Amino acid sequence: MTSPHDRGSLSAFPIGRRRLLAGASAGALGLGLAPFGRAFAQAKRFDGQSLNLMIIQPHVVAGRYLAEAWEKLTGGKVNVTAVPYDQLQAKATLDVQSGTNNFDVIDYWYTGVGALANDGIIVDVTDRIERDKAEIQPDDYLRSIYDPYTLADGKRWGLPYDGDSHLLFYNTEIFGRHGLKAPTTWDEYLERSKAITEAEKANGIYGAAVLGGKAPIIIGASYTNRLAGFGGRYLKEDGSSALDESAAVEAAKALKDAAPSALPTPLETRFEEGLPAFLSGKVAMIEFWSDLGVYAQDPKGSKIVDKWDAVRIPVGGSNKTSRLALNSGFAFAISSGSEKQEHAWEFIKFATSAKTGLGLLLTTGSGIDPDRTSTLNAPEYKQFAPKVQTALAGALENGLPWPNGPESPQLMQVLADELALILADQKAPEEAIAAAHEQWTAIIGS
């Protein structure tokens, strides 16, 4: 969504160091000396050609940024089509499977990579990555992100451009009022939340917002934060369900325990309810994507400028090492129906490069988070979002991924249903997780 934020000046967009010619032509472009630029064939390589990009609505600002930057660099046009984030996979699938082949580059949620690959919707780019290794620098990608986002069935299918994870954001002013420090364990989180809610709910202020809306990406994210905190995981090494491990149940219990003192009511709290509540100072804690830090500092939409901080997701149970949950997270792939696959691949390399990635990170409203070691630790990013950067660095490298095999959509929907039943007080946590485990075993096994 185009917010009233500025889109970041493109002069912050760094010039490629390897190509002096490209650098010179970029400089020439900057001076408006386009004809000179055109003389350098590489700069205007795709002049007059166009690509169709499908991107999720929350990233439409990033999409437009990429389109503009690409056109400035290569003369090629990018037609950006935004889709609601919950229609991404369906649209990409229908597009290819029906033979429409409207899109060349598609944005995909990493949990869908297995299904998309299995259905033949996206192109196997293993060889291309190998060939263009030097340019892409795949080793720069965070280890915990690169494989889950791109690896399916032993092959690679795309390149990451947005490495999402949740952090625990808290309101320093409210915490200060109660003399509280940031929680490091889920027990502390619960204590703090209860204390604040007890004291201030008459004024409409609550200890925490728990996002429990029934869609997998919403309630699944809240659960995965706790699962990661308790040292749990979704799948065992052999690919079978790990929901029978104790961490899975402990995480579910923690979710349920958090509900009573949370912003009313978790089941009704989706992003659009939780986020404004935090930004207007009505809740003291929220687990949300790291780019919330950027929103919180924007005076046009936030009442808590400089009154917040971010820490890593708390730990729980016997686990003492903080681990972030890879909630959401997106990559670009070539649509298998595209007739401009080489062109599409060039764009993808550009869009996912460290340089472009940094530019996106520094753009308010882009919705993009770091996915490379270089960008995560870049001094410009540290300066732009210091609190977030401190929390991410050192923990994101070890994130907990969601399942990403072909059955992933079904698995997560089953889990989301059971979790919703827990929050609706219709099932006990043990019962619900056991039921989920049973169904997961049936789905994976088939």
Partner 1 sequence: MALAESIDTARTDAPARRRRWRLGNASLASPLVVTLALTTLYPLVALVALSLSKSTLGKPLRDWAGIANFTRVLGDPAFLASLWRSAAFAFPMAAVELVLGLALALLFHRLVRAGRVFTSLALLPLMTPPVMVGVAWKLIFAADGGLLNGWLRAAGLIDAPMSFLGSSSWAAVAIVVADAWQWTPFVALLCFAAIKGLSEEVMEAARLDGATAWQRFRHITLPLLVPTLAAVFLLRLVMAFKLFDLVYVLTFGGPGFDTTTSGFQIWRLAFEQFDVGRAAAATLVFVGFVSLVIWPASRAARRLEARYT
Partner 2 sequence: MTLAAHPARPQAPHRWSWIDLVAVLVAAAFLLPLAYLLSVSFKSPDQVLSGSFLPEAPTLANWPAAFGATALTRFIVNSVLTAVLGGVVTILIALPAAYACLRLDKAGERLVSIAFGSFVAPPIVAAIPFFFLLKAAGLLNSVVGLALVYGLTNVPVALWLLMPFLRRIPREIEDAAAIDGAGPLVTLVRVIAPLVAPGIAATAIIVVILGYNEFLFASVFTFADETRTLTVGISLFQGDRLVNFGQMAAASLAGIAPIYLIALLAQRWLVAGLTEGSVK
Could you list the residues that contact partner 2 (CB under 8 A)?
Answer: 1-4, 54, 56-58, 79, 81-87, 91, 94-95, 98-100, 102-103, 204, 271-273, 275-277, 279-280, 289, 295, 300-303, 367
Binding mask 119-158 for partner 1 (x = CB under 8 A): xxx-------------------------------------
How far apart (Å, rounded) are the C-alpha atoms in residues 138 and 154? 16
Are 366 and 358 within 8 A, CB to CB?
no
Minimal distance, residue 7 CB to partner 1, in Å? 27
Q: H helices of 362-425, where?
A: 373-376, 379-384, 386-392, 408-423
Q: Is residue 93 a contact point for partner 1 (CB under 8 A)?
A: yes
Question: Of 17 and 300, which has the nearer Cβ to partner 2?
Answer: 300
133 contact choice in partner 1, partner 2, none (CB below 5 to 8 Å, kind-dependent)? none
Q: Is residue 263 a contact point for partner 1 (CB under 8 A)?
A: yes
In the numeric block, which tokens belong to residue 117?
Answer: 């690959």
**Binder of partner 1 out of 187, 410, 434, 438 (CB under 8 A):** 410
- Token pair 């965070």 is at which residue? 142
Window contacting partner 1 (CB under 8 A); options: 162-170, 200-208, 242-250, 346-354: 200-208
Element (H, E) at 103: none
How far apart (Å, rounded) are the C-alpha atoms in residues 318 and 340? 52
- Which residues are registered as beta bridge partners of 78? 51
Window contacting partner 1 (CB under 8 A); options: 127-135, 139-147, 260-268, 365-373: 260-268
Minimal distance, residue 410 CB to partner 1, in Å? 5
57 contact choice in partner 1, partner 2, none (CB below 5 to 8 Å, kind-dependent)? partner 2
Minimal distance, residue 270 CB to partner 1, in Å? 8
| Among the listed residues 334, 338, 335, 345, the one whose alpha carbon sits nearest the alpha carbon of residue 74 | 345
Q: Counting Cβ atoms within 10 Å, is residue 390 exposed (0-12), middle (13-18) or buried (19+)?
A: middle
Q: Is residue 445 a contact point for partner 1 (CB under 8 A)?
A: no
Question: Positive or negative, the Cα torsion across 356, 358, 364, 368?
Answer: positive
277, amino acid identity? A
**HSE value, Cβ hemisphere, 13 Å, CA-based, for 425:** 6
Quote the strand ranges of 93-165, DSSP E.
Answer: 105-109, 151-152, 155-156, 159-162
Question: Contact residues for partner 1 (CB under 8 A)?
Answer: 87, 89-90, 93-94, 97, 115-116, 118-121, 201-202, 204, 206, 213-216, 263-268, 273, 277, 282, 409-410, 413, 417, 420-421, 423-424, 426
